[in-house]
């Protein structure tokens, strides 16, 4: 499942093909993904020029000169595959999957005035798209209650201290709450808690301020490292057509049950919190 760094990498992969281009042709091969596509989806996109490409939490946002914003969430298995006009057989901008996409799961095709084709492929169809008026995007239900961006200026130990005040909920669950901070998922929360040496079961409201400062900084660090790794895998992918996986090799704790902790050498544990796996070292994380 793509998390914030993966979505940011997709944004960076799509930007050179989409920003400033006019959408010449849109093809929809079904009328819904997780939700129905917005009405007159094709007509509202065809002929529009794309301005900036942004990311908010795990949403991709493409500003259009029609006053609307194209909003896309990749869900569990959504991917954008770029077929450049000059070499359409060589797909770019999709560094996560070793296997080529199955064309049966290509649901939406975007063609630009330069002839580049961008295909949205999503086998599980948990992804979704919408077209939203640019001046009302903050009021859209997907964005209304989102907390600050973890890489933005508002997110800090001070912010966590305010958001966690009086909370009995575990710090793991609190960090996954999108109202507290937007776009964090299971993998990077596990990594950040491990690197900040915070026990994921600790009640959020009972963590001292200096540790929250450290935790906020650690969240930023793990995300920035992953975005950097994504950037290099994007470059590698564009250079070769090698099979590249997720950034899993860089994880210190996630999905490493029973392996030795890189810090103390004792076994990493997997526990379940709110129905999801947490990986932690019970010796190092307090």
Decide if residue 196 touches Zn ion (CB under 5 A): no
3-class DSSP state of 275: coil
Q: Which of residues 5-44 bind Zn ion (CB under 5 A)?
A: none
Q: Which is nearer to Zn ion, 178 or 263 (CB)?
A: 263
Q: Does 283 bind Zn ion (CB under 5 A)?
A: yes
Strands 23-28 and 106-112: antiparallel
Task: Provide the minimum distance between the beta carbon of 194 and Zn ion in the complex, in angstroms, as a whole number.
Answer: 8
Cβ atoms of 109 and 159 closer than 8 Å:
no
**Nearest CA-CA partner of 7 in 63, 72, 83, 68:** 72
Q: How far apart are CA 157 and CA 151, in angstroms?
A: 13
**CB 253 to Zn ion: min, Å:** 9
Is 124 a residue that touches Zn ion (CB under 5 A)?
A: no
What residues act catalytically?
A: 2-3, 58, 276
Sequence-distant (≥ 6) Cβ neighbours of residue 186 within 8 angstroms? 3, 176, 254, 276, 277, 278
| Interface with Zn ion in residues 241-280 (CB under 5 A) | 261, 263-264
Q: Collapsing DSSP states into helix, strand and coil, what is residue 130? A: strand
Residue 186 near residue 192 (C-beta atoms within 8 A)? no
Q: Could you give the angle at the alpha carbon of 25 between the alpha carbons of 98 and 46, nearest 5°?
A: 120
Using rule CB under 5 A, residue 190 touches Zn ion = no
- Applying CB under 5 A, does 193 fall inside the site for Zn ion? no
Which residue, 83 or 195, is less far from Zn ion as judged by CB?
A: 195
> Least CB distance from residue 136 to Zn ion, whole Å?
48
Which residue, 98 or 264, is less far from Zn ion as judged by CB? 264
Does 281 interact with Zn ion (rule: CB under 5 A)?
Answer: yes
* Cβ nearer to Zn ion, comparing 136 with 264: 264
258, burial (CB in 10 Å: exposed 0-12, middle 13-18, buried 19+): exposed
Residue 284 engages Zn ion in binding (rule: CB under 5 A): yes
List, in order, residues 6 or more apart from 243 with CB less than 8 Å away.
98
> Nearer to Zn ion by C-beta: 66 or 263?
263
CB of 269 to Zn ion, least distance (A): 10
Total residues in contact with Zn ion, by rule CB under 5 A? 6
Query: Which residues form the interface with Zn ion (CB under 5 A)?
Result: 261, 263-264, 281, 283-284
């Amino acid at each position: 499942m793509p998390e914030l760094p993966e979505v940011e990498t997709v944004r960076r992969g799509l930007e050179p093909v989409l920003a400033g281009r006019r959408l010449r042709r849109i093809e929809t091969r079904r009328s819904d993904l997780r939700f129905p596509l917005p009405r007159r989806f094709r007509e509202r996109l065809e002929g529009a020029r794309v301005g900036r490409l942004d990311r908010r939490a795990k949403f991709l946002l493409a500003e259009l000169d029609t006053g609307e914003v194209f909003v896309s969430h990749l869900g569990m298995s959504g991917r954008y595959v770029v077929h450049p006009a000059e070499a359409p057989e060589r797909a770019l901008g999709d560094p996560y999957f070793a296997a080529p996409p199955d064309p049966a799961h290509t649901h939406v095709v975007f063609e630009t005035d330069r002839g580049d084709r961008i295909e949205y492929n999503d086998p599980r169809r948990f992804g979704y798209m919408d077209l939203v008026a640019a001046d009302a995007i903050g009021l859209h239900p997907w964005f209304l209650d989102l907390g600050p961006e973890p890489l933005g200026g508002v997110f800090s130990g001070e912010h966590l201290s305010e958001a966690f005040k009086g909370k009995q909920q575990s710090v793991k669950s609190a960090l996954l709450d999108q109202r507290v901070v937007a776009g964090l998922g299971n993998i990077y929360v596990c990594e950040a808690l491990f690197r900040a040496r915070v026990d994921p079961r600790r009640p959020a409201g009972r963590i001292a301020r200096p540790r929250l400062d450290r935790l906020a900084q650690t969240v930023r660090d793990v995300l920035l490292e992953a975005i950097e790794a994504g950037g290099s895998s994007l470059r590698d992918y564009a250079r070769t057509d090698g099979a590249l996986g997720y950034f899993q090799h860089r994880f210190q704790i996630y999905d490493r049950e029973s392996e030795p902790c890189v810090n103390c050498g004792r076994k990493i544990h997997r526990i379940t919190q709110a129905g999801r796996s947490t990986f932690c070292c019970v010796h190092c994380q307090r």
